């Protein structure tokens, strides 16, 4: 039945859009001369897609600063102005932009600045120190990044160490009071692996406002543990919401009331893993629809698999079942998203891939409902028994 799939897609889209807005955007300003490796660095941390997009739009009318929005990431870059040559113009444009942005929501402001220098390049000039001090004056946390620094046997190239020492000696208002050494793209010929990216990302997290951490978790592609942690946070929230919904004094007789909660959770997780709507929708349909029932969404009927669900009189769901059901859905979906992103599963859409997606999802789902409330009680999961007794009381 095409109808039920359409209904599913529409509901999923609504939740996906809501979550998209809720996650917001992390905006990074990046400075450094042409060729130091800014684009390479951005690509290494935020993915290839960033490079393929356009130059963005001026942050304010007539500004030489451009904001390029790529999902939950915003990159503020200079266009037609060169750091070093045009510092005055850049800082004046930035000052104007920062003042205007102060009145906007957090996601529309600039949160962190990376000031990039090639580790092997040259001396650190006083003009650069001034530039950095001005960024700090404007309220921007500044991270100094030394790019393309060769490293061997745990030692950085001595030229880069000298440069770093020069910078440290200036006692600038920079994050960690020192530059971050990086090599963004492995050089196979030189046998130089990439390094320093995780440290740079961690430092960025430390100084980025709490309110955009979720956006930064989604935007970055190198720290999967952070993604899983963020996803688990939302599964916990959704399981608690489901339990609360089931525990309200007005009894309901359908699992359908849990659907918006679960769709919100699934869209949130999909976006944490940068899975676009079209793909996520295909995955969700394939997950919850058996190939043998082509086109017939079984999203709500999965609840019958939860122990205890079948015995409830009149189909009224208890808080424990609602919570276990949602928790299992979330964990199965998380596993699926992780595998898809790591390229361990094909793309949804073909019969073969749909079958595989369905199998992975169901296997994980069954595993989680068996662990059920017991798994929920340990750790920080909501206690379904507690919520159950609240319902009875």
Ligand X SMILES: Nc1nc2c(ncn2[C@@H]2O[C@H](COP(=O)(O)OP(=O)(O)O)[C@@H](O)[C@H]2O)c(=O)[nH]1
The verdict on 148 binding ligand X (CB under 6 A) reads yes
* Residue with smaller CB distance to ligand X, 184 or 200: 184
- Report how far residue 271's alpha carbon sits from residue 134's, in angstroms, rounded to the nearest whole number: 35
CA distances from 57 to 63, 65, 98, 113 (A): 9, 8, 16, 18
The verdict on 381 binding ligand X (CB under 6 A) reads no
The verdict on 39 binding Mg ion (CB under 5 A) reads yes
CB of 51 to Mg ion, least distance (A): 8
Please choose, out of 39-47, 87-95, 130-138, 279-287, the segment that lies near Mg ion by the rule CB under 5 A.
39-47
CB of 147 to ligand X, least distance (A): 6
The verdict on 200 binding ligand X (CB under 6 A) reads no
* Residue with smaller CB distance to ligand X, 119 or 373: 119
CB of 38 to Mg ion, least distance (A): 5
CA distances from 376 to 185, 240, 323, 325 (A): 41, 10, 9, 11
- Report how far residue 287's alpha carbon sits from residue 361's, in angstroms, rounded to the nearest whole number: 6
The verdict on 66 binding Mg ion (CB under 5 A) reads no
Please choose, out of 32-40, 223-231, 251-259, 268-276, the segment that lies near ligand X by the rule CB under 6 A.
32-40
Binding residue for ligand X, selected from 6, 17, 22, 35, defined by CB under 6 A? 35
- Report how far residue 261's alpha carbon sits from residue 361's, in angstroms, rounded to the nearest whole number: 18
Say if CB 117 and CB 30 are below 8 A apart.
no
Q: Closest residue to ligand X, Cβ-based?
A: 37
Choose among 229, 230, 271: nearest CA to 71.
271
Binding residue for ligand X, selected from 38, 72, 134, 226, defined by CB under 6 A? 38
Q: Binding partner of residue 47 among ligand X, Mg ion, none, CB under 5 to 8 Å per kind?
A: none
The verdict on 157 binding ligand X (CB under 6 A) reads no
DSSP for residue 112: E
Q: Binding partner of residue 356 among ligand X, Mg ion, none, CB under 5 to 8 Å per kind?
A: none
- Residue 296, classed as helix, strand or coil, is coil
Binding residue for ligand X, selected from 6, 10, 22, 34, defined by CB under 6 A? 34
Stretch (H or E) spanning 62? none
- Kindly state the greatest CA–CA separation across the chain: 77
* Residue with smaller CB distance to Mg ion, 33 or 178: 33
Counting beta carbons within 10 angstroms of the beta carbon of residue 267, is it exposed (0 to 12), middle (13 to 18) or buried (19 or more)? buried
Neighbours of 226 (CB within 10 A): 18
* Residue with smaller CB distance to Mg ion, 34 or 253: 34
Give how many residues touch ligand X by CB under 6 A: 14
Say if CB 284 and CB 266 are below 8 A apart.
yes
Choose among 264, 238, 266: nearest CA to 324.
238
Please choose, out of 38-46, 200-208, 291-299, 369-377, the segment that lies near Mg ion by the rule CB under 5 A.
38-46
- Report how far residue 267's alpha carbon sits from residue 12's, in angstroms, rounded to the nearest whole number: 7
Q: Binding partner of residue 148 among Mg ion, ligand X, none, CB under 5 to 8 Å per kind?
A: ligand X
Stretch (H or E) spanning 142? strand 142-147
Binding residue for ligand X, selected from 184, 270, 282, 348, defined by CB under 6 A? 184
Binding site for Mg ion (CB under 5 A): 38-39
Binding site for ligand X (CB under 6 A): 32, 34-40, 147-148, 183-185, 187
């Amino acid at each position: 039945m095409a109808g039920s799939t359409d209904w599913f897609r529409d509901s999923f889209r609504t939740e996906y859009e809501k979550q998209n807005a809720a996650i917001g955007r992390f905006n990074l300003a990046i400075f450094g001369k042409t060729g130091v490796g800014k684009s390479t660095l951005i690509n290494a941390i935020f993915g290839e897609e960033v490079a393929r997009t356009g130059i963005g739009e001026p942050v304010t009318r007539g500004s030489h600063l451009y904001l390029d929005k790529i999902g939950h990431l915003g990159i503020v870059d200079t266009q037609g102005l060169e750091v070093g040559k045009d510092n005055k113009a850049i800082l004046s444009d930035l000052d104007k932009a920062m003042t205007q942005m102060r009145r906007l929501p957090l996601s529309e402001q600039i949160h962190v600045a990376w000031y990039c220098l090639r580790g092997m390049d040259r001396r650190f000039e006083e003009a650069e120190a001034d530039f950095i001090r001005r960024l700090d004056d404007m309220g921007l946390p500044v991270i100094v990044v030394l790019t393309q620094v060769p490293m061997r046997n745990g030692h950085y190239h001595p030229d880069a160490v000298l440069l770093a020492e020069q910078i440290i000696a200036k006692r600038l208002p920079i994050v960690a009071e020192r530059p971050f050494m990086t090599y963004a793209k492995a050089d196979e010929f030189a046998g130089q692996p990439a390094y320093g990216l995780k440290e740079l990302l961690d430092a960025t997290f430390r100084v980025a406002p709490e309110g955009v951490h979720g956006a930064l978790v989604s935007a970055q592609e190198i720290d999967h543990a952070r993604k899983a942690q963020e996803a688990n946070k939302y599964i916990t929230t959704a399981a608690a919401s489901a339990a609360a919904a089931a525990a309200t004094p007005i009894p309901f007789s359908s699992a359908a009331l849990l659907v918006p909660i679960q769709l919100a959770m699934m869209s949130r997780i999909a976006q944490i893993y940068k899975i676009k709507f079209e793909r996520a929708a295909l995955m969700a349909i394939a997950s919850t629809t058996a190939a043998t029932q082509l086109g017939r969404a079984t999203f709500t009927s999965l609840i019958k698999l939860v122990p205890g669900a079948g015995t409830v009189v009149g189909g009224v769901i208890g808080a424990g079942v609602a919570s276990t059901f949602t928790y299992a859905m979330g964990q199965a979906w998380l596993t699926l998203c992780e595998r898809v992103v790591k390229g361990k599963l094909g793309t949804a859409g073909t019969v073969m891939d749909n079958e595989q997606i369905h199998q992975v999802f169901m296997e994980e789902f069954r595993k989680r409902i068996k662990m059920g409330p017991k798994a929920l009680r340990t750790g920080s999961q909501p206690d379904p028994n507690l919520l159950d007794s609240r319902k009875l009381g």
